[in-house]
Amino acid sequence: MKSQSYANLETIETFLPCKTPQAWVDNALANIDIMLLDHAHCEMKAASTAMAYVYKHADKPELITKMSKIAREELVHFEQVMRILKKRNIEFRSLSSARYAGELIRNTRTDRHGRFIDGLILGAYIEARSCERFARIAPYLDADLQKFYSGLLESEKRHFTIYLDFAQKYSQADITEHVQRIGEIERKLILSADAEFRFHSGV
């Protein structure tokens, strides 16, 4: 992978190591309330992750600017999901986390710079998978949810490219090996079984 913008080189479909299985779609349709609740939590966590980069990397003004914007957009998405929950009389509550993000984090490098780069790559995978799942589930949903999920696609795709661009920009070497390494872990998580349904759960 070359150190230039990925926006015109990569698409969600070619970046992700596998497609979301139909089994996940079927589970989502049987657990719409849980999907929406977990989606709200995911947006909140995404905003928090972006803000963590703002706090920790004062020496990278371009990163701070982009992550600040991502954080604001994720909070808007959170507020939109909260309005949907209220409209559907779904009480917002805590949920146990999917193993997805935790397992990805556990497989990042342990040195400071490696952990930073892997964290950005990990962010790209989470944003890409979210985008892919919005597109995957949208055709099966009612008109209101279909419009909402379809409307999120562009921002999630943009977030994916931002994370990936910064991973290469700040890396001391080509990131292909690490993209592929994390991608293989991501593939296994998506295709293996999970005990509970979540937005980023496996089958």
| Residue at token pair 């005990």 | 195
The band of 13, judged by pLDDT with boundaries at 50, 70 and 90, is: confident
| pLDDT tens column, 32-72 | 999 999 999 999 999 999 999 999 999 999 999 999 999 99
**Percent of the chain predicted with pLDDT > 90:** 90
* ∠ CA 72-115-157, rounded to 5°: 40
Question: Which CATH number applies to 28-191?
Answer: 1.20.1260.10
The mean pLDDT value of the chain amounts to: 93
End-to-end CA distance of the chain: 30
Give me the pLDDT at residue 100, please: 96
22-30 helix and 112-137 helix, angle to the nearest 10 degrees: 70
Note if the pTM is more than 0.75.
yes
Residues in CB range of 136: below 8 A, 6 or more apart: 19, 20, 24, 25
The 3-state DSSP class for residue 203 equals coil
Tens of pLDDT, residue by residue over 108-122, are 999 999 999 999 999
Instruction: State the pLDDT confidence band at 3, using cuts at 50, 70 and 90.
Output: very low
